Structure 1
Amino acid sequence: MKNTSREHLELIENYLESGYEEVFVDLISGRTDMVMVVDWREYDEEIVQYCEDILNTKLLTAETVDSDNAQGFELTIIYKDQRVLVPYQGDGADRDTTIIHLNQILKADYEIRLCNASLGSDTLQFLPLANSTWEKLERRWGRPALENCFTPIEMDSCFFG
């Protein structure tokens, strides 16, 4: 497992200290070495790759196969010895369902959170960190301050509508 670099942790803590959206934009926004930048039209398997590029686990992949379902394909997220078929509803894939299930398969080691400063855009940003790093940040800054900047992902989370 890759640890968050000291530089990345300092940037996150500078943002938490200020709490200002402008600081997020200046320090973290668009840094694809830190955050997953996800457009509402993103290919869902690319979201998994963005996360792997940041975490560098060498154990996280996505597998897409053609299927005779409403979406025309099935997406399976693979991490370590786990496989999760993403349960899309309706006619197509959706980023919300992919991100929720990606977070679920990683939950023993990592957590992905929404960067609240990216809300209101059709391109949202998500921060994947080791659970131990989230715990360290929560101990230092407290849950309210942390969740003011980075919202935990729940099974019913809706980001892209």
Structure 2
Amino acid sequence: MLPCFQLLRIGGGRGGDLYTFHPPSKSGCTYRLGCRADLCDVALRPQQEPGLISGVHAELHAELQGDDWRVSLEDHSSQGTLVNNVRLPRGHRLELSDGDLLTFGPQGQAGTSSSSEFYFMFQQVRVKPQDFAAITVPRSKGEAGGG
């Protein structure tokens, strides 16, 4: 079993989308999330309100720490990124913990992140190598912290 991390989409009426990440390098890497599929590893395309997601909305930075990945989230958006319903300042990096709830874009209509179209749970997991067909491969080849 290899250490990985996941984003499980739990909001926006399209719950169940699952993205699994296992950085290909022990030195770590960066995954980009946003509406520009040509620039991002995970394309977030708004169905409800266009313009809520920036081209490169946020980055996940992964660094190997012992037997697990240390993952931090960095916001690059104009509309905001929330961790556990607290807005992450633009350009600020925050280390994620298992079970953290992430919202890309502003809070939903009801004032809670759970009503947002892009509401995810962050999970630390272990995956069997034969299940690697579902692994998200990073576009950026730089080290963690690089872009």
Q: TM-score, normalised by structure 2?
A: 0.31
- Which structure has more RCO (C-alpha within 8 Å, separation ≥ 6)? 2
Q: TM-score, normalised by structure 1?
A: 0.29
Higher Cα Rg, which structure: 1
